[in-house]
Structure 1
C-alpha cells in the first residue's frame, strides 16, 4: 500500500484542474501544466482535491500510484508558486555571468562554458559565485541545476567546484610526507 498515494492532493485557491481521459491539466496564476497518467491508475477530481487510486493489485499499479500522486502534487505547487534551486561556485577564478539566454561559466577549463538556458526556466546570477535556477516544472528545474553542476562537480580535496547551496562536501586529507 502506498502511503503517499492514499493522500489526496489539495488544490489551493486560484488553481483549477480538468481531466480528459488519463490526461490531467492544472491551471493556476503562474501557468498551465499537463500530465498523462498510465492506465494503471484512476484519477478523480473532487471538491478542492485530486485523488489517485490504483487499478488492480499488480506491482506496477502500486508503483504508478505513488508516483502519479507526487507528479500531480508538484504540478499543483508549480502553477501557484515557483521551484527554486540555488547553486554556489567555489574556487579561485571560478565565476558565472548571464548574457541573454546564455550562462557563461569560467570554471578553470581551457575555454569558457556557454550553457544554453532552456525555455520554462529562469536562471539568474546575483553574484559571480551564485546561480539561481527557478521555474514551474520541478523536474526541469532540477535537471537544469544538475546539468550546470556537472560542468565542475565539487572535488573532495579543496572543495572547488559547483555545489548546491547548503550541500556538504566531505573533505579528504591530502598526501603526507
Structure 2
C-alpha cells in the first residue's frame, strides 16, 4: 500500500493550478508545467486548505503503482515551478576545466578534443572557477539527466579520483601497484 500517495500536497501561495479532466497545469514564478494523470488516478483540489489530494479510481495493482508515482511527480512539479531544482558537479584533475560559450558547455577533460554539451531550452548551466558546474531547471528529471550525461563524459577514476563528480560525492580510491 502506498504511503506516499495518501499524503496531501501542500500548495504555496504563488502557484496556480488548473485541473481539466485528467490534465494538471501548474504555473508558478519559475515557469509552467503540464502533466497528464493516468485514468486510474483522480486528483482534487481543496481550495480552503490550499492542498491537492490524489485518489485511486480502482483498487488494482496497476492503480496502486501509479498512485504514489503520480503524487510524487505532481509534488516535484510544484516544487520546480516555485523553487526550481539544481545539481552541482565538480571537475577534478590537472588540466581539466569547463567554460560556457553562449548556452553551450565546453569541457576539456583529457580527451584530444573538447566536448560540447547543448542543454535543452529550459535548463540553465552555470560555471564557477572553471571546475564547478551548476545545472538548474524546473523539471527534476531533466536536471538530473543532464547532470548524469555530463558526469558520464569522464566519471571519476578509482586510482587518482580524476574526473567529473557530483559535489560532495565520495569516491573510494583503490591502492595502486606495490613495487617489489
Q: TM-score, normalised by structure 2?
A: 0.95
Counterpart residue number, 1:160: 162
Give, in angstroms, the shift of residue 55 of structure 1.
2.1
CA distance in 1, matches of 2:159, 2:55: 49
Counterpart residue number, 2:72: 70
Counterpart residue number, 2:19: 19
Counterpart residue number, 2:109: 107
Counterpart residue number, 1:30: 30
User: Are residues 1:129 and 2:131 paired?
Assistant: yes
Counterpart residue number, 1:171: 173
Q: TM-score, normalised by structure 1?
A: 0.97
Three-state SS of the structure 2 residue aligned to 1:6 is coil
Give, in angstroms, the shift of residue 81 of structure 1.
0.8
Aligned residues: 177
Gapped runs of 5+ residues in structure 1? none
Give, in angstroms, the shift of residue 110 of structure 1.
1.1
Counterpart residue number, 1:7: 7
Three-state SS of the structure 2 residue aligned to 1:125 is strand
